[in-house]
Amino acid sequence: MEYVEILSRLVACHTASSVDPRLNEGNRDLIGFAADLLELNGFMVRLVEAPDDKLCLFARLGAGPGGLLLCGHSDTVPADPAAWSTDPHTLTQRDGRLYGLGACDMKGFIAAALSLAQRVSEPPRPLSIAITSDEETSMAGVRALVAELEGAESPSLVVVGEPTSLVPIAAHKGYLAGEITVRGRAGHSSNPAAGANAILACPGLIGRLEGVAHALMARRDPRFGVPYTTLNLGTIHGGDIENRICDEVRLTFDARPTGVVGCDEVWEMVSMAVTAPLEGGCSASVRPLYPDIEPFASPDPGLLRRLEEGSGCAARCVDYCTEASFLKRLGPCVVMGPGDIAHAHQPDEFLPLADVERLMPLLERLFGEHCMAS
Ligand SMILES: [Zn+2]
């Protein structure tokens, strides 16, 4: 099957993931298509159950340690067809571009991995392909897959094919998010002194959180475009009616650690700010909203140099995070794939055909280096 046909089959599958259950779609069609194609080409295919009735796939041609593992996520963000010029699920080619939902992020890379799989026979070291679910939301798929595979024989290179315009990514930030609850004591508004108003405790608490953000900013990491660990307050909600003393306020925040600062240290700083005494007898606590995602750094400068030579692009560091934070447990890992991240998550998302033309020989070269060399 030709590359464009494989990609059009992947794009036709409805695989959006969303925290809104009405927009959350499955991925069994896509996994079934990939599993059939890979089995037909001699791969051993293993399916791993993921939350929300989704599946992850791990397929392998050949046996033993070493080899190459190519990874992609099956899901997309939800699309609004009215905002698209053409049907998001019909791959459309025009002006040297392939338009379709997920064409760039990141079914285009999965199609390239499947296309390579069709053209190789059993190598001395294995070629493996992993497809995950829910990368755009909880990263639950990759967590389940890595838990299944950890401890098995390691590949000598793991490529996470997120759209980077084929620039190798040397490092990316991690991610954590939490909810802070400020508790006071309710009472009738006719005597505010009779209760403890959680709203009045917020300015002091927010000031302390700003202090944490500034302390993080001082720990520079010039590798990144935003060269420090960020802390951002996202939401604040509290109180229920104007004539009652407010007894509860909730704030949410996220942080993106660089690696100079890790997730644990951010939690320590935030916890200290939150649990110190508050105005008027209020108290506060904090809890994580999701499991943390640790920062990622490519472990091997030699490996990066070879990828830079292969792609013709200098490696760089990015502020967003990827499944590499988990997949690095399986082997030396790099993030590099076709398409521009700026075109992901947008109406009329596209993949330049020129990227595909550069990617295929690069994958063949990596296959030669990691699977054919004995
Ligand atoms: Zn992606």
Region 276-288: mean pLDDT is: 94
CA of 120 to the centre of ligand 1 (A): 26
- The closest alpha carbon to 347, from 8, 77, 84, 92, belongs to 84
Residues 161, 184, single domain; the answer is: no
**Cα(266)–Cα(257) distance, integer angstroms:** 8
State percent of the chain over pLDDT 90.
Answer: 90
**Cα(299)–Cα(315) distance, integer angstroms:** 13
Residue 135 is a catalytic residue: yes
CA of 272 to the centre of ligand 1 (A): 34
Residues 193, 168, single domain; the answer is: no
CA of 306 to the centre of ligand 1 (A): 24
**Per-residue confidence band for 77, with pLDDT thresholds at 50, 70 and 90:** very high
CA of 275 to the centre of ligand 1 (A): 36
Q: Which CATH number covers residue 310?
A: 3.40.630.10
Q: Which CATH number covers residue 256?
A: 3.30.70.360
192 is in which domain, residue-wise?
A: 176-288
Domain termination site, one of 288, 316, 336: 288
Domain termination site, one of 288, 311, 345: 288
Residue 75 is a catalytic residue: yes
Catalytic residue among 75, 221, 294, 349: 75
Residues flanking ion ligand 1, Cβ below 5 Å: 105-106, 162
Catalytic residue among 105, 134, 135, 323: 135
Residues 273, 190, single domain; the answer is: yes
Residues 135, 27, single domain; the answer is: yes
**Per-residue confidence band for 199, with pLDDT thresholds at 50, 70 and 90:** very high
Map tokens 């209020």 to a residue: 282
pTM here is 0.88
State percent of the chain over pLDDT 70.
Answer: 100
Whether the CB-CB separation of 334 and 169 falls below 8 Å is answered with yes
CA of 143 to the centre of ligand 1 (A): 15
Residues 272, 303, single domain; the answer is: no
pLDDT digits (tens, 9 = 90+) for 242-278: 999 999 999 999 999 999 999 999 999 999 999 999 9
Domain termination site, one of 288, 318, 336: 288
User: Would strands 97-99 and 127-132 be described as parallel, antiparallel, or unpaired?
Assistant: unpaired
Domain total of the chain: 2
Residues 106, 132, single domain; the answer is: yes
**Per-residue confidence band for 214, with pLDDT thresholds at 50, 70 and 90:** very high
Residues 166, 182, single domain; the answer is: no
